[in-house]
Amino acid sequence: MAAHFPIRSLTAISLVLSLAAPAAVAQISSTYHAPKNGWGQPDLQGTYTTATITPLTRDPKLGVRNVLTKAEADALEQATRDQIARADAPTPPEATVKDLKNADCGPDGISGFNCGYNQGWKDPGTKLIDINGEKRASIITSPANGQLPPRVAATGGARRAGRTDNPEGFSLGERCLLSFGSSAGPPMLPLMYNNTYQIVQSKDEIAIDVEMVHDVRHIRLNAEHGPSSVKLWMGDSIGHWEGDTLVVETTNMRPEQGLRGGSPNQKVIEKFRRLGPNSLSYQFTVSDPDTYAAPFSGEVEMRTTKGQVYEYACHEGNYALTGMLAGARAEEKHQAEAGGAAKSGGE
């Protein structure tokens, strides 16, 4: 099921705790201070959603402007509500697959017989990220143009020629090993559904239960990183408190997991801070000199939700992976019987 969550940082924090420190995030109000838990820590516990229509990268037409006007924000949010209403409308019982709107997964990509998901499976939210009254045009805040930095190398990449040769050729999400996209992170980014997170604290550790593919991040407090030769799913996360802000440094991520093909040398700095009783600011900076020409930063709003994190039974009733592998084997057999070379890939 889809989900949601929030966070934010201390006084004038610019979420740039990184090497070549990129430009920065907007300053954060210091008027609110989080309540303390039994260990004297700022209490971040709760269930949150990050569902948002704010994209990772900005519309190039906006240039370096990352704050939308009220009219722009209202128009985008209303268009989203209208789109969802159209997608939720009952399908006429006499309609055939050829009659369905967007049969080729058109602009909204939500309906039609060729679509993987219709609106009933989705929950991307209807609101833009709102930080201290600023409606954001992109999650990326640095570089200033809201785009990812230029790539210096093409690393990683699960979808490649020959990916149907073995299960290992498919993405981690398709194999139900880890969340799709970068939902579990780090950085933890919103998706089209399952955006709920639950934060649980103890004296020495903070755990984040991620709805998508039931991942749990473990953040050890005031500890040291393990050896670089030991790579972990979601990396090795070490946290400490700076006032009301939880600062987390993650290294030693497995090479299959790097954000958009990132390298195993990727480092992520995250900052969590309460903006108020019902929201958090989640800021991150990714440094990956093997993949990107410069670090990049972003900010996500996490909002409290009344719901709980439900089980994501990824493989229950999932015949897609076996079906794709079986289809590839059938294609190879057909080509062999026809006397042609078996085609590798099966995209």
For the four alpha carbons of 6, 11, 14 and 18, in that order, the dihedral sign comes to negative
Q: Tokens 């949601």 map to which residue? A: 4
Count CB-CB contacts under 10 A for residue 114. 13
Is residue 269 classed as helix, strand or coil in its secondary structure?
A: strand
The bridge status of strand 215-221 relative to strand 236-242 is parallel
Cα 23 versus chain centre, distance: 22
Helix (H) or strand (E) run with residue 282 in it: strand 279-287
**Measured distance CA(259)–CA(285) in Å, rounded:** 12
Instruction: Give 325's contacts (C-beta < 8 A, 6+ positions apart).
Output: 164, 166, 167
Q: In a structure prediction context, what are the per-residue pLDDT tens digits for the chain, which is 347 residues long?
A: 433 333 323 222 222 223 333 334 444 556 788 999 999 999 999 999 999 999 999 999 999 999 999 999 999 999 989 888 877 777 778 877 666 654 455 554 554 445 666 677 778 889 999 999 999 999 999 999 999 999 986 655 444 557 788 888 888 888 888 888 899 999 999 998 899 999 999 999 999 999 998 889 999 999 999 999 999 999 999 999 999 999 999 999 998 887 777 788 899 999 999 999 999 999 999 999 999 999 999 999 999 998 889 888 887 777 888 888 999 999 999 999 988 655 544 44
Question: Among residues 280, 238, 290, which one has the least CA distance to residue 259?
Answer: 290
10 Å Cβ neighbour count for 105? 15
249, 252, 257, 263 alpha-carbon torsion, rounded to 10° = 100
Q: Which two tokens stand for residue 220?
A: 């050890």
Classify residue 223 by burial, with Cβ atoms within 10 Å: 0-12, 13-18, 19+.
middle
DSSP per position, 6-55? -B--STT--S--STT--S-------S--PPB-TTSSB---EEEE---S--
Residue 184 pLDDT: 92
Helix (H, G, I), strand (E, B) or coil at 79: helix
Which residue type sits at 233? W
Residues 6 or more apart whose CB falls under 8 angstroms from that of 128 comprise 52, 53, 54, 68, 73, 76, 77, 135, 136, 137
- Positive or negative CA dihedral for 92, 111, 326, 332? positive
- Tell the residue number behind the tokens 């992170």, with chain if given: 185
pLDDT at 316: 77
Backbone dihedral region for residue 324 (phi beyond 0: left; psi -120 to 50: alpha; all else: beta): alpha
Number of other residues whose CB lies within 10 A of the CB of residue 35: 9
Instruction: Give the C-alpha distances (Å, rounded to integers) separating 195 from 99, 190, 305, 344, 345.
Output: 32, 6, 11, 35, 32
Give residue 235's pLDDT: 94
d(CA 313, CA 89): 28
Q: Is 67 in contact with 54 (CB distance < 8 Å)?
A: no
Place of tokens 């299960």: 167
Three-state secondary structure call for residue 99: helix
Rounded distance, CA 275 to CA 8, Å? 5
Dist. CA 287–CA 296, nearest whole Å: 7
